[in-house]
Structure 1
């Protein structure tokens, strides 16, 4: 990875945790700083994350070990490719990279007596994910859309996936990685640094109640073209990669 890619990966990982009210500790932040400066390679981060999980922490990380390991693994996600099928298998592949120690039985959200009625029934996750994947495929994974249409459709899918809520832990983080991948392949990047936790949480809550206006506004503030020269000089800001 070039220095800019390292910095981008660390910034994304930090923001992704903060949006879920998680904060890496000073030790993990120093490891990330060393990575950005080229003093640590990706293999070293993977090794540190593995040690944090298998040894139950260290004198440096202590009780914050699970969050620190998650932070380091999120930095490395972009270096761990997976099949980009836009389905539950892709979501599980991303989730497995964040929490590799979970058994198959622990990955998906399971039905509980006190299940949140605002979420999709856990017993039907496979069917719900398949329906979302089919809808995405019908829309060609949002490729070649003008910016306003892309924002609208991505907000729709963020809402649908949030309602599906396939994972008991790291669900939001997994979905944001997936949406970032989906957006990039469609010609747009998402700057999650522009989403503060309070605004993000409010948009999610309102979307689950049927109003995605705040979600659209949130995404509109984050979307930027992958190839700005082509967008700005040839197509114009509101036109998509196909123009």
Structure 2
């Protein structure tokens, strides 16, 4: 059973994770989340407590549920697929399924007009990233500056991998939070706004991860093992 602090943290993170993609849950959905925090309804009953939940509402509710119930952490493509499946269940027909066609961004990577990773090589690319993480002990026992640099690198690589047609950023923030926590650091996404995030991602996409590193520097603290790691505001959950 989740604690009050865990519920509050899951709701705060879900709302911020949506906001960073300009996804806006309805007032009814936010009200249902408040009822959930008050123990009036369970995490599984939020969607059924309102009439005609929107796509944004479903993503919001699914993120809260994921934050409270967790998922299997494997540090590879299977983990990304599991997160994506849970967040976009009932939203995308291809929830948890990697894309099979190539896609392009608005700008080229390092001045190359070709956009994201070739679809037919996603599994190979993901395996390479997973192996790199494993070789680096999943970023465990690194000093702050080194950790931030390595996290920015893997975040950029996974962003370029872009394994799903949609919902990649929503999924990646959750994966990165889990990876960071297990490595000894917590990320506070409440310290980031959509514009800062977009700028950092665009710069990394063009080959410069310094904005991503700066963003992560502003977000991290040593991990608190007693609290949930999906965070948007340090005041949510047990104090650091």
Determine if the alignment matches structure 1 residue 108 to structure 2 residue 98: yes
What TM-score does the superposition give when structure 1 sets the normalisation length?
Answer: 0.83
Q: 1:220 aligns with which of 202, 217, 222?
A: 217
Which residue is 1:239 aligned to?
A: none
Describe the shift of the 1:142–1:168 C-alpha distance in structure 2 as closer, same or farther (beyond 3 A).
same
Cα deviation, residue 107, structure 1:
2.3
Which structure is higher in helix share? 1
Which residue is 1:80 aligned to?
A: 69
Q: Measure the CA separation in 2 of the matches of 1:173 and 1:10.
A: 15
Describe the shift of the 1:186–1:81 C-alpha distance in structure 2 as closer, same or farther (beyond 3 A).
same
Which residue is 1:7 aligned to?
A: 8
Which residue is 2:193 aligned to?
A: 196
1:181-212: CA deviation from partner (whole Å, max 9, x where unpaired)? 11111111110000110010000000000000
Which residue is 1:27 aligned to?
A: 28
Secondary structure at the aligned position of 2:221 is classed as: strand
Cα deviation, residue 135, structure 1:
0.3
Describe the shift of the 1:194–1:110 C-alpha distance in structure 2 as closer, same or farther (beyond 3 A).
same
User: Could you tell me whether the CA contact under 8 Å between 2:84 and 2:96 is conserved in 1?
Assistant: no
Describe the shift of the 1:125–1:224 C-alpha distance in structure 2 as closer, same or farther (beyond 3 A).
same
Q: Measure the CA separation in 2 of the matches of 1:115 and 1:193.
A: 29
Determine if the alignment matches structure 1 residue 93 to structure 2 residue 90: no
- Aligned CA-pair RMSD: 2.0
Cα deviation, residue 104, structure 1:
5.6
Q: Measure the CA separation in 2 of the matches of 1:107 and 1:20.
A: 20
Q: Aligned residue pairs: how many? A: 215
Give 5+ residue unaligned stretches, structure 2.
106-113, 226-240
Structure with the bigger RCO (C-alpha within 8 Å, sep 6+) is 2
Cα deviation, residue 78, structure 1:
2.3
Q: Measure the CA separation in 2 of the matches of 1:89 and 1:189.
A: 22
Cα deviation, residue 82, structure 1:
2.8
Q: 2:142 aligns with which of 133, 142, 145?
A: 145
1:53-72 equivalences in 2 (<5 Å) = 58=52, 61=53, 65-72=54-61
Secondary structure at the aligned position of 1:127 is classed as: helix
User: Could you tell me whether the CA contact under 8 Å between 1:118 and 1:208 is conserved in 2?
Assistant: no
Task: Give the structure with higher Rg (CA).
Answer: 1
Q: Measure the CA separation in 2 of the matches of 1:227 and 1:125.
A: 34
1:178-193 equivalences in 2 (<5 Å) = 178-193=175-190
Q: Measure the CA separation in 2 of the matches of 1:9 and 1:20.
A: 17
Which residue is 1:233 aligned to?
A: none
User: Could you tell me whether the CA contact under 8 Å between 2:44 and 2:65 is conserved in 1?
Assistant: no
